[in-house]
Structure 1
Amino acid sequence: MSQSRIELAGRIRAASHLTGNFLLRSGLTSTEYFDKYRFESDPVLLDAVAEQLAALVPAGTEVLAGLEMGGVPVVTALSRHTGLPAAFIRKKAKPYGTQRLAEGAEVAGRRVLVVEDVVTSGGQVVLSSADLRALGADVRQALCVIDRGQGGADALAAEGIGLLSLLTADDLRPR
């Protein structure tokens, strides 16, 4: 890992690692918690993340698709760095207004890179990629800031989607 990625991992850890008593989604409790919204809400840190993510965007990408909710700030910053248009992907279409699942840039007939903040099991990326494909998008890869290494890459590969990540959970451990 490059020195700049090591430094970025340290900055993300410093901003996002919390200690205390936390109830996890699984129902278990933990004395440590990683609050991803802390790096996403810091404009200077988010800009540094997007700058390094930009180098990972595959050639031929036409649209960046950020997943609700954490992928939206990441894709917005990444769009700024790459000049590529962004789409914002809902978990389900809203029942009013445009009633669209994908807001922003048009995805039909275009090569779309799915963008997420953190990938754990990959479940939401798999679901949203299927939705995008149903809309006519060509989805071959997903890009995340952090791959927790808990099966997400395998789940995506089973759907024909490669996972690119800036950092892994191991990169965020203290050195």
Structure 2
Amino acid sequence: MDRTALAKRIYEIAHLTGSFTLRSGQISQEYFDKYLFEAEPAVLREVAAQLQALIPPGTRVLAGLEMGGIPVATALSLASGLPAAFVRKKAKAYGTCKLAEGADVAGKGIVIVEDVVTTGGQVILSAKDLREAGAVVEDVICVIERNPEGREKLAADGLRLHALFTMEELNAAGAGGQLAEDAKKV
């Protein structure tokens, strides 16, 4: 499946209209319910296959953020062979009391894996926590970059964002258009 076909499929599955309050507190008239495309095995498999090209060299662990980044990181781990860690918003207060479950992140170059980035707020908080746990965090991979504001905030925190799709690309694909990159190949 090429990028345009994948974008169109994600749009068909996950694009909702109405009035939605985003995590950032912003109100939007459209929403991508990421759990709808993450729950479709064929789509998630293709997302992971295409995300592989975005993994920066030297990455040793894929760190999926709770909750939407976890299925993406798991699928990407299966596709790439890299181990995964599952990052909580807050370390649990019982058992091992870990912030990151799964692969050890201390001293390793990791890439944060997220499904949707809007303002980057949770990514910045989690990057701080992971750095305090000894991880080397410089890059973030996401499926959907919802707003350029997130990229700017991440950059200000020393994080490079690598997005599979922007919101504009998904909307263009959903409206029957081609993605700019795929249009060049035609």
| Shorter-chain TM-score range | over 0.9
Question: Normalising by the residue count of structure 2, what TM-score does the alignment of the two structures yield?
Answer: 0.88
Q: Which of 16, 21, 24 matches 1:24?
A: 21
Determine the structure 2 residue equivalent to 1:43.
41
Per-residue Cα deviation, 1:58-92 (whole angstroms, up to 9, x for no partner): 11100000000000000000000110000000000
Distance in 2, Cα, partners of 1:27 & 1:156: 18
Task: Describe how 1:93-172 pairs up with structure 2 within 5 A.
Answer: 93-172=91-170
Task: Describe how 1:45-64 pairs up with structure 2 within 5 A.
Answer: 45-64=43-62
Distance in 1, Cα, partners of 2:152 & 2:104: 28
The structure in which a higher percent of residues are helix is 2
- Which residue identity lines up with residue 81 of structure 1 in the other structure? A
Distance in 1, Cα, partners of 2:68 & 2:60: 21
Q: Over aligned residues, Cα RMSD in angstroms? A: 1.4
- Which residue identity lines up with residue 36 of structure 1 in the other structure? K
After the TM superposition, list the runs of 4 or more consecutive aligned residues in structure 1 that deviate by more than 2 angstroms.
Answer: 25-30
- Which residue identity lines up with residue 76 of structure 1 in the other structure? T
Distance in 1, Cα, partners of 2:15 & 2:41: 18
The number of residues matched between the two structures is 171
**Maintained 8 Å contact 2:66/2:87:** yes
Unaligned runs of 5+ in 1: none
Does 1 or 2 have the higher relative contact order (CA < 8 Å, sep 6+)?
2
The Cα of 1:96 is off from its aligned counterpart by 1.0
Q: 1:73 to 1:149 in 2, by over 3 A?
A: same
The Cα of 1:27 is off from its aligned counterpart by 6.9
The Cα of 1:18 is off from its aligned counterpart by 2.1
Unaligned runs of 5+ in 2: 178-186
